[in-house]
Copies of this chain bind each other. A is one copy, B any other.
Amino acid sequence: MKYCYKYWRPSVATDCVIFGFTGKQLKVLLIKRNVEPFKDCWALPGGFLRESDNTAEECALRELKEETDLILTNDRIWQLGVSSEAARDPRTRVISLSFIALVTPSEVKGGDDASDAQWFNLNEIPSLAFDHAKILENAKEALKQKIHFEPIGYDLLGEEFTIPQVQALYESIQGVTYDRRNFARKIQTSGFLIPLDKKASGTAHRPAHLFSCDKELFRENARRLKFETKK
């Protein structure tokens, strides 16, 4: 018991909700806990804030690397919220600071190497440790909102992508479907897409054109990309 204080203090931990997209489905990165409590249970990657962590973000990134071999930077995670209920951790009082990050398809594939880390489809999430299920729900909701304001979609798609992939991503985040033609027009006239003069391959049908995203332009315009259908 080497750390002594005049007043009571809680433990502080961070948890990361990492979303990845493989071209078809939105996924979340989870780790299998190897210690009590919730041993052998799936959980969000995360861990306790240390004195050497200059910020909570640093802590989140450090734990993410340790537990999943995924190396991200400060500008790729953002705050989601705080879980502070006294009973949320059976051991001791733990305040959890949660973060969200988005990773590209190549990072999703790399992540498979880590021993106890695994990507799960959003509709196949196992039961989770602590209140992580709640945190994940909040993250899904935050993602829905955020995609209207920021070019986060393109963080999930990587350097090159096709318009149908963008549509699939938006649809899986929002849980709706859009008209193919209206979607393509809107996203092309928005001006953020840079045609790459290349085509996708490996499909048993007509290949789609590849694009990349001009994120600067996206941010400047700050336009909302919202797609709806009334049917």
Contact = CB atoms under 8 A, between A and B. Distances in A.
A86 B12 CA distance: 13
Given A3-B9, A9-B5, A82 B54 contact: no
A12 B12 CA distance: 8
Contacts of A95: 12, 49, 56, 95, 97
Interface string A66-90: 0000000000000101101110000
Interface residues of A, number: 32
Interface in A88-115: 93, 95, 97
Contacts of A86: 53-55
Nearest to A226: B224
Contacts of A145: 149
Contacts of A1: 4-6
A44 to B, nearest CB: 16
A172 to B, nearest CB: 21
Contacts of A201: none
A29 B87 CA distance: 32
A4 B3 contact: yes
Interface of A: 1-12, 48-51, 53-57, 79, 81-82, 84-86, 93, 95, 97, 145, 149
23 contacts: A1-B4, A1-B5, A2-B4, A3-B5, A3-B6, A3-B9, A4-B5, A5-B5, A5-B9, A5-B11, A9-B10, A9-B11, A12-B12, A12-B95, A49-B95, A53-B86, A55-B84, A55-B86, A56-B82, A57-B84, A79-B82, A82-B97, A84-B97
